[in-house]
């Protein structure tokens, strides 16, 4: 009885992995360069995946004077490195979900604040540019579009965000 249960679980796990793994997964592109295909989609929006590292390159049709990097991970968690309302990069984490082309998410809570949902849900369109760079267009509920371009998040950004004595640490609240 016990062995049947284990084998059933193993079998279900394989089936589940096969179903979830995109045709062109990150394992096929171990070097996550901007020209890779984050999420493994080939340019069509069908079965879109947002996995990978992205940088905000356009917001509401302007080049933003601030910086947002996001890493959507395979396990439906995300890491953000953003320098928007602080002078230094901040490290922010949470979880996300992708239902067809609708992207939703929630920020992790911490000792100071509880977790909270994103400001909006987003309609996702993923495209491949002529130079092989992938972009994600996220359109929020008010119709404002953000363009994220595939990238590799710079190491110095990650290091800066991890600095404990950063300017951001005493910026608000």
Strand partners, 152: none
Least separation in angstroms between residue 113's CB and other proteins is 8
- The three-class DSSP label of residue 167 is helix
Establish if 76 lies at the interface with other proteins (CB under 8 A). Answer: no
Tally of residues, the chain: 173
108, 93 contact by CB (below 8 A): yes
Enumerate residues 115-144 that contact other proteins by CB under 8 A: 116, 118-120, 122, 142, 144
Enumerate residues 85-114 that contact other proteins by CB under 8 A: 85, 87-88, 90, 92, 94, 105, 107, 113
Cα–Cα distance, 141 to 92 (Å, whole number): 22
Least separation in angstroms between residue 152's CB and other proteins is 19
Stretch that binds other proteins, among 25-33, 42-50, 83-91, 126-134 (CB under 8 A): 83-91
Establish if 65 lies at the interface with other proteins (CB under 8 A). Answer: yes
Which residue lies nearer to other proteins by CB, 68 or 98?
A: 68
The encoded tokens of residue 138 equal: 């996220």
Element (H, E) at 53: strand 52-59
């Amino acid at each position: 009885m016990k062995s049947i249960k284990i084998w059933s679980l193993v079998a279900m796990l394989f089936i589940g992995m096969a179903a979830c793994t995109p045709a062109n997964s990150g394992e096929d592109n171990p070097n996550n360069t901007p020209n890779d295909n984050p999420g493994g989609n080939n340019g069509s929006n069908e079965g879109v995946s947002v996995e990978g590292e992205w940088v905000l390159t356009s917001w509401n049709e302007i080049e933003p004077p601030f910086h947002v990097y996001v890493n959507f991970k395979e396990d439906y968690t995300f890491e953000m490195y953003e320098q928007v309302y602080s002078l230094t990069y901040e490290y922010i984490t949470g979880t996300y979900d992708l239902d067809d082309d609708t992207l939703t998410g929630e920020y992790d809570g911490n000792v100071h604040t509880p977790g909270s949902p994103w400001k909006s849900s987003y309609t996702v369109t993923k495209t491949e540019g002529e130079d092989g760079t992938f972009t994600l267009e996220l359109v929020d509920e008010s119709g404002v579009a953000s363009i994220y371009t595939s990238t590799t998040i710079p190491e110095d950004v990650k290091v800066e965000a991890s600095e404990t004595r950063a300017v951001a640490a005493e910026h608000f609240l």
